[in-house]
Each structure stands twice: as C-alpha cells, then as structure tokens.
Amino acid sequence: METVIRFAREDDLAQINELRRQVNELHAAGKPEIFRPCFSDEMRDYLYEIRSDAAWQIIAAEADGAVRGYATLHHIQRPENPVMRPRDYLEIDEFGVDEAFRRRGVASAMIAFIRAYAREKSFSRIELNMWEFNRDALAFYEAVGFSTYRRYMEMEV
Ligand SMILES: CC(C)(COP(=O)(O)OP(=O)(O)OC[C@H]1O[C@@H](n2cnc3c(N)ncnc32)[C@H](O)[C@@H]1OP(=O)(O)O)[C@@H](O)C(=O)NCCC(=O)NCCS
C-alpha cells in the first residue's frame, strides 16, 4: 500500500473529521468522565479554525485514494518564569489512523514526515501527551522512539 504524507488541504478536512470522530469515540469510551461521547459541530469546526492559524499545521496521510491518517501540530512557545527556562517546541496535539488501515505503517510514515518537518524548522524537540488507558497508542509511540518524561496522576475521593 502506497502512503503519501502531506500537509492537509481544505478539501481533506471533512475526511479528517471522520477520523477525529473515531479517536473521540475511543477517548470517550476510555475516559468517559472527561470526554463527551458526541462529536459536536464545535469539534468539527475547530479543524477549520486551526487551519488558518500560523501556529498550527495539519498533516494528512493518503492511501488507497482517501485520507487514512491525520495529525495536528502546534508550535508551543512558553516564556521563562522563575522556575522554568523558556520553552519552544513542536507538539503533536491530535494523531490517528483509520481503524481499517492500522498496522500498515501509516502512523510511522506520519511520524517520519513530522520529524523531517521539525528538523527543517529547527525545532529541537517534539512532544505529545496521551491518555494512560490507551495502551495501543503507548506501544506505537514507544515503537517509533518517544519516551515518557512526565506523568499525570489521579485518585478517586
Ligand atoms: C496508535 C495508532 C496511531 C498507530 O497507527 P498505525 O498506523 O497502526 O501504526 P503503525 O502501523 O505505523 O505501527 C508501527 C509500530 O507501532 C507498534 N504498534 C502500533 N499499533 C500497535 C498496537 N495496537 N499494539 C502494539 N503495538 C503497536 C508496532 O510496533 C508497530 O509495528 P508492527 O506493526 O510492525 O508490529 C493507531 O492505532 C490509532 O490511530 N489509534 C487510535 C487513535 C489514537 O490512539 N491516537 C493516539 C492518541 S491521541
């Protein structure tokens, strides 16, 4: 299967929103106290809003004549404060592959594209956060070279 990774065009966004709907269902099933189960109009429109924001990029993975994977990238800049140095990095905010096209290297190809883009733009790090229940995503991110440097913890009261 040939997969082409590229920056998304306006006419890709409807297909990407279908993939975002799948990812949202996964999150709502895994963390129902946090994620709303329905993919709302606001969630759909959000993609169109960030596309016109220079701090964001949207990536599309095309295979078999349709968009099968997507990522949203956010350039994060945090000023220094008394505790922390200034921070400037590329964050992968959303990431997913069509459930019918997984385990065929689509996500790995997107990571390779994102790394090349990050190098070209002189970023020194790529970061992301993920939900602990999502063991498939953790296995994937570790397989492509990410490591955990921070944790969020919780307890019931
Ligand atoms: C996580 C996800 C993006 C992986 O996409 P993918 O295209 O299937 O990944 P790849 O085919 O490039 O996998 C590369 C390697 O990662 C590892 N990997 C990927 N999915 C895995 C899984 N479900 N379980 C264990 N290892 C996995 C394997 O080592 C795999 O290599 P292999 O297939 O030769 O064994 C996909 O499962 C997905 O979209 N999940 C739902 C959305 C999601 O969780 N997004 C990320 C959090 S926001």
CA dist., res. 93 & res. 88, Å (int): 15
Largest CA distance in the chain: 51
Please give the average per-residue pLDDT across 33-43, as a whole number. 96
Domain extent listing, the chain: 3-143
Sign of the dihedral through C-alpha 126, 132, 137, 138: positive
Instruction: Give the pLDDT of residue 149.
Output: 97
Return mean pLDDT, the chain.
97
Nearest CA to ligand 1 atom 29: 143
Residues 97-113, mean pLDDT to the nearest whole number = 98
pTM of structure:
0.97
Q: Please tell me if the CB atom of residue 140 comes closer than 6 angstroms to any atom of ligand 1.
A: yes
Write a three-state SS string for 27-86.
HHHHCCCCCCCCCCHHHHHHHHHHHCCCCEEEEEEEECCEEEEEEEEEEEEECCCCCCCC
Annotation: CATH topology of 3-143: Aminopeptidase (3.40.630)
Q: 9 CA distance to ligand 1 centroid (A)?
A: 24
